[in-house]
A and B are shown apart, each in its own frame.
Chain A
Amino acid sequence: MEGIVLNYTISPDDFTRAGEASSDVKRKLKQLGVSPEAVRKVAIAMYEGEINMVIHANGGEITVEITPERILMILADSGPGIPDVEKAMQAGYSTAPDEVRSLGFGAGMGLPNMKSYTDDLKIETKLGVGTTITMEVRLE
């Protein structure tokens, strides 16, 4: 069966638009009849990734591949890269600036959530070049 590929461009520094891509994916997954639990996981993980691209990486591109077996999310940016991935993955670690914290972000929970709500998470990052995060949620 033909899978579905969705592409989104995430614009930098626009908090009002952050979350548009994950909302669209969520709507489509519901139309496909994907289980509510999987929809929830994808929505939470993708929103965190999307907002990270806005806050930390000057936007980027998201590709979502959906098949009846799994949902693959590839979030690619050309931002600063993550110097210490292990540290970044720790709950509570954040380099978010104050003005972002005042909007309620910066708890350092994004990456840990992305990990716990997906079945697989891979981070490829290079300082000064960018970061590509691949997440997978498997379907029954």
Chain B
Amino acid sequence: MDKFYHSVRLEEELCKGCINCIKRCPTEAIRVRNGKARINSKFCIDCGECIRVCSHHAKKATYDKLDVMRNWKYTVALPAPALYSQYNNLDDVNIVLNALILMGFDDVFEVSAAAELVSEATREYLTLHEDQYPIISTACPTVVRLIRVRFPNLISHLLPLKPPIEVAATIAARRAMEQTGLPREDIGICFISPCPSKVTYAKAPLGTEKSQVDCVLAIKDVYPQLLSHMKAVGEDMLELSTSGKIGVSWGRSGGEAGGLFTENYLAADGIENVIRVLEDLEDQKFTNLKFVELNACNGGCVGGVLNVENPYVAEVKLKRLRKYMPVARSHMENQEHAEEIVPWTERVSYEPVFNLGENMMESFARLNQVERLCRKFPGLDCGSCGAPTCKALAEDIVRGEASENDCVYYLRENLHRLSEEISILADDLHAGGSGGHETLNILKEYIQRISSEMSLLDNKEDEEDG
């Protein structure tokens, strides 16, 4: 699978070519070219910010439709803890789990149950790897992708354990094969996701060669279906839940760290905050930290862009729900092969996608050129050129992906200069200066250049109308 696969896509017909998304993208991965937004797949980390901010709904996450369930003989639903936080007055997780069965799944396995195993494994990892402090959570795939392209010095701090989604999928698949005797390909493991980031994870995971998740559904698609089935769940419902407070808390920021029984942790949420923390971690501005939990979404996974409920309301609901739960119900010792299921099987390595050139020589020359270009541009960061900042345009230019004339101010100045030169030449002609014929030719050339630059401007306007 493409190591830069991503699930956030552009719906071309809906895109108006405005600059909302280019301004909000935390890795400056989007440009407007020919009137449409383009996502650079090497820079994109699938955080979903552009989906949140696009008022034309032109940014979409790719995920599977509900009828994908028919592709397998036996299906297991893997609900993310964020799913529970979508419902009002839910006092028993079993209602949601039983409704999933009524909806057509053959079995359910809670991601929060796997999360409790990961919490245990993390606690053990922390005691054995003091030299690697602070250890950075790897549960949010967007954060891992961000570190992979931008924070090479922090890769060695990544917690080398699979995220709960993967651990859940592995256990669920084994259990299904044992219970049904079916081969693996007849079993569909369906994750119910709060975010596009986990869609990407399922297709192109980091830390594992291949994910055991076979399809990913969006919480917002499952939510309404489930609502009607929940009403049909009666007193006689099955006890399907196998997780407690620790597992369910993973759905919100601070939940993962809370399961580690240490106070020396930091938990940050929201992609901009995450970046600030990573910058500071890289500069070693924190001391005495054991663990760093980072979630790309505001509030944690309850803030994922495929949820229905407002993240902060969802967080309150999650807190209420967990109140009467036991601390934890899933344990490594009860899980067969836990030691081999949980750790990473592949290392993550640095992808220097932001390098300006192919080699250091070229990068030096290009950075110098960027500095010179930046001095030429007005520094307004207006976005009219399709790049988020003047500096980003300069970087695009040196990479050969844009031109100086994409800057409307630069173009305007160019036109001014040309017309001034014309008037000097005309004065010269008028005064009967020498080489009249030659001056006339130069004059013609200037006029042609002006009109071709004017037509560039017209193109720009077309793009904006179109």
Chain A residues with a Cβ under 8 A of chain B: 1-4, 6, 19, 22-23, 26, 28, 30-34, 36-37, 39-40, 43-44, 47, 66, 68
Contacts and interface: CB of A to CB of B under 8 A. Distances in A.
A32 B350 contact: no
Nearest to A36: B152
Interface of B: 150, 152-153, 279, 282-285, 350, 352, 354-357, 359-361, 363-365, 367-368, 371, 395
A30 B395 CA distance: 13
A28 B398 CA distance: 14
Given A22-B283, A44-B284, A32 B356 contact: yes
Contacts of A31: 354-356, 363, 367, 395
B348 to A, nearest CB: 14
Contacts of B284: 44
Main secondary structure of the interface of A (DSSP, over half): helix
Given A4-B368, A39-B153, A32 B363 contact: yes
Contact of A2 (B150, B359, B364, B395): B364
Given A43-B282, A44-B284, A30 B150 contact: yes
B56 to A, nearest CB: 31
Contact of B371 (A4, A32, A37): A4
Nearest to B371: A4
Contact of A47 (B283, B354, B364, B395): B283
B361 A1 contact: yes
A65 B171 CA distance: 54
Contacts of B360: 32-34, 68
A26 B152 CA distance: 12
Given A22-B283, A43-B282, A44-B283, A32 B355 contact: yes
B364 A40 contact: no
Contacts of B283: 19, 22, 26, 43-44, 47
Nearest to A41: B153
Contact of A36 (B153, B354, B355, B357): B153
A26 B280 CA distance: 12
B205 to A, nearest CB: 23
Nearest to A34: B360
A44 B263 CA distance: 26
Given A28-B367, A68-B360, A36 B350 contact: yes
Given A32-B355, A33-B352, A33-B360, A4 B279 contact: no
Nearest to B350: A36
A4 B367 contact: yes
Contact of A32 (B150, B152, B285, B364): B364
Contacts of A32: 355-356, 360, 363-364, 367
Contacts of A23: 279
Nearest to A48: B283
Given A23-B279, A36-B153, A30 B364 contact: no
B363 A33 contact: yes
B179 to A, nearest CB: 47
Contacts of A19: 283
Contacts of A47: 283, 285
B45 to A, nearest CB: 16
20 contacts: A1-B361, A1-B365, A2-B364, A2-B365, A4-B367, A28-B367, A31-B354, A31-B356, A31-B367, A32-B356, A32-B360, A32-B367, A33-B356, A34-B360, A36-B152, A36-B350, A43-B282, A47-B283, A47-B285, A68-B364
A22 B405 CA distance: 32
A30 B354 contact: yes
A80 B283 CA distance: 27
Could you say which of B284, B350, B352, B357 has the most chain A C-beta atoms within 10 Å of its C-beta?
A: B284
A30 B350 CA distance: 12
A26 B282 contact: yes
Nearest to A117: B284
Contacts of A26: 279, 282-283
Nearest to B357: A33
Given A31-B356, A68-B360, A2 B368 contact: yes
Nearest to A107: B287
Given A33-B356, A39-B153, 6 more contacts: A2-B365, A4-B368, A30-B352, A37-B153, A40-B282, A44-B283
A57 to B, nearest CB: 20
A87 B296 CA distance: 44
Contacts of B368: 2, 4
A31 B355 CA distance: 4
Nearest to B352: A33
Nearest to A37: B153
A36 B151 CA distance: 8
A7 B31 CA distance: 29
B63 to A, nearest CB: 33
Contact of A40 (B153, B350, B359): B153
Contacts of A37: 153
Contacts of A40: 153, 282
Nearest to A33: B355
Contacts of A33: 352, 355-357, 359-360, 363
Nearest to B358: A33
B153 A1 contact: no
